[in-house]
Amino acid sequence: MNLQRVAAMIQRHFYLYQRSPPRIMEIFFWPLMDLLVWGFITIYLQRTQLNLPRFVLFFLGALLLWDLLYRAQQGISISFLEEVWSKNLLNLFVSPLRPCEFLAALMTISVAKMLIAGLASALMAWWLYSFNVFVIGVALIPFTLNLLVMGWSIGIISMSAILRAGQQAEVLAWGLGFLIQPVSAVFYPVSVLPAWIQPVALALPSSHIFEGMRLVLETGILPYDSLIKATLLNGVIITGAIAFFYHTLRVVKDKGLLIQRGTE
Amino acid sequence: MKQDTPPLALEVTHLTKSFNGVTAVNDISFTVSEGEIVGLLGPNGAGKTTLIQLLLGLITETSGTIHILGMDLKKDRSKILSQVNFSSSYVSMPTSLTLWENLNVFAKLYGIRDYKDQINRLLTLLEIHSLKDSLTRHLSSGQLTRLSLAKALLNTPRLLFLDEPTASLDPDMADKTRTLLKAIRDQYKITLLYTSHNMKEMQEISDRIIFLYQGKILVSGTPAAVLDHFKENSLESVFLKVARGGNAE
């Protein structure tokens, strides 16, 4: 792993963002919209259904954490698409940049995007609804790290799909995360889901993270079993996602599709 | 007296690439010596672009071997890629970055030590230094070609692959680019392997031409030898003869 090459790729994206207000706004816009729409709905529901325990806390906490995962995923897939859109992919693939260095750069960009969007959302939630996400306490760190890794996995899988199928698959860069949201126990527990789909939910790290978060908010106790399950599942999923990326790269090279991806 | 032969920049042995039963490159073998300018010529579908992609490791070969600068492309791809480069009129660079920023990123990817000096030198050589702070999206196609060439020369490559470098240029700019390529070869002693549909260009700057047809090498030699082989007086006539009449052998 050559860190200079990783840094060069990060710098390339820094250059891109420094003079692109729409791209910078995009980092903040959707979290803000989510927060406004769902935050006010939450307050409305809280006023009408007073029996719901810690409703604002659960819902806004879930919203903020979900957005962390989504930003982490976009940090990979959109950054990759930037190379496709600018027809720069071939220049990169004929340079000494190794695929692992390319991935490392995208992961670092993903961390930066997630942190910026996460901090901005946390500040807005505090300002608009007096909601302090840091009440989750120290558990926020392992939960956030797990969401980051899961976001990477989804990002790498969608990037690989785009590499294989071309720009017709680019909708996955925005949609794949939302595909798993219903079974990720983001806003409701796994037990709410039909029995037949619960095993799917339990196979995803995200459902353990969000279940764990609710437990922390309710009891103040860090559920180690949820955390361990999420971490182990994440280990499996990120390994699978990286293996899928390398496999796709081999297939794309074998079928001669790289030139199409680089010039379409 | 025994003459010193220049070392090989490229050695291709029995290279074959098939896609779903269609053979795009069919058992090709050839060598390119260091410092040579070799033009790959052939009608559409002859296998030129596939061959260049194979040589850059963008496509995996079905069989055969590729040695670049004495190294096996399969085993030493990253090491080889730090010593070769590529420019194509079909590949672009991020348009939201300035020329300087684009070259700065690639200089770091190629691990250039005195990258600032090198970038300044190349921008001056290619007559685009005054545009160094301009956004790439504001460049004309001629300027874009020069930027792409600057990127391709950043690491002072020992072997440079050019895929239709003058395809999008007007005759004046194409002529300047040809002059530039020869100057670059003389100044940097770079080996050039390039494709073009411009026959005049091929005849003018190539030391040797490899004529591809249906994935095979039809003939290889100096432009004069190729003309002699087909009993024609221009490469354009050769090209038309082959493209319209089979391999015309």
Residue A259 touches chain B, beta carbons under 8 Å: yes
> Interface pTM (ipTM) of the complex?
0.84
CATH class (in words) of the domain with range B1-76+160-165+194-249: alpha beta
**B193 touches B162 (CB < 8 A):** yes
Q: What is the pLDDT of residue A192?
A: 87
Select the more confidently predicted residue: B145 or B105. B105
Surface of A (58-97) touching B: CB under 8 A: 82, 86-88, 90-97
State the smallest CA–CA distance between residue B103 and chain A in angstroms: 10
Rounded average pLDDT over A238-255: 95
Rounded average pLDDT over B145-155: 90
Rounded average pLDDT over A108-126: 90
State the smallest CA–CA distance between residue A252 and chain B in angstroms: 8
Contact B95 A86 (CB under 8 A): yes
User: Token pair for residue A179?
Assistant: 């595909």
User: Token pair for residue A79?
Assistant: 């950054």
Residue A166 touches chain B, beta carbons under 8 Å: no
Rounded average pLDDT over A250-260: 86
Q: CA angle at residue B135 from B133 to B138, to 5 degrees?
A: 125
Cβ neighbors of B225 (< 8 A, separation 6 or more) are B219
A66 alpha-carbon distance from chain centroid:
8
Select the more confidently predicted residue: B102 or B8. B102
Optimal mutation site among A18, A83, A85, A91, interface B, most CBs of chain B within 10 A:
A91
- Closest-CA residue of chain A to B149: A91
Q: Give per-residue pLDDT as tens, B169-194.
A: 777 777 777 887 778 777 778 899 98
Rounded average pLDDT over A5-28: 86
Which of B44, B80, B21 has its CA nearest to residue B212?
B44
State the smallest CA–CA distance between residue A15 and chain B in angstroms: 6
Contact A90 B104 (CB under 8 A): no
Q: What is the pLDDT of residue A262?
A: 61
Instruction: Please tell me which of the candidates B78, B101, B151 has its beta carbon nearest to residue A98.
Output: B78
Element (H, E) at B161: strand B159-163
Q: What is the pLDDT of residue B60?
A: 93
Cβ neighbors of A40 (< 8 A, separation 6 or more) are none
Backbone φ and ψ for A120, nearest 5 degrees, come out as -65, -45
Q: Give per-residue pLDDT as tens, A128-176.
A: 878 788 877 788 889 899 999 999 999 999 999 999 988 788 888 888 8
Answer yes or no: is pLDDT of A30 > 70. Answer: yes
Residue A21 touches chain B, beta carbons under 8 Å: no
Q: What is the mean pLDDT of chain B?
A: 86
Contact B88 A90 (CB under 8 A): yes
Contact B50 A90 (CB under 8 A): no
Rounded average pLDDT over A67-71: 90
Query: With pLDDT > 90 as the criterion, what percentage of chain B qualifies?
Result: 38
The residues that bridge with B23 in the sheet, in sequence order, are: B18
User: Token pair for residue A201?
Assistant: 């939910």
Within a 10 A sphere around the Cβ of B223, how many other Cβ atoms? 21
Q: What is the pLDDT of residue A1?
A: 86
Quickly state the pLDDT bin for A263 (edges 50, 70, 90).
low
State the smallest CA–CA distance between residue B19 and chain A in angstroms: 6
Answer yes or no: is pLDDT of A20 > 90. Answer: no
Number of residues in chain B: 249
Rounded average pLDDT over A24-53: 72
**What is the SS3 string spanning A188-219?**
CCHHHCCHHHHHHHHCCHHHHHHHHHHHHHHH
Q: What is the pLDDT of residue B107?
A: 95
Rounded average pLDDT over B224-242: 81
Q: What is the pLDDT of residue A219?
A: 82
Question: What is the 8-class DSSP label of residue A133?
Answer: G
Q: Give per-residue pLDDT as tens, A210-246.
A: 999 888 888 888 889 999 999 999 999 999 999 999 9
Optimal mutation site among A5, A6, A20, A86, interface B, most CBs of chain B within 10 A:
A86
Contact B105 A11 (CB under 8 A): yes
Instruction: Please tell me which of the candidates B60, B92, B106 has its beta carbon nearest to residue A254.
Output: B60
Q: What is the pLDDT of residue A6?
A: 94
Q: What is the pLDDT of residue B246?
A: 57
Q: CA angle at residue B102 from B101 to B108, to 5 degrees?
A: 90
**Is A236 in a helix, a strand, or coil?**
helix
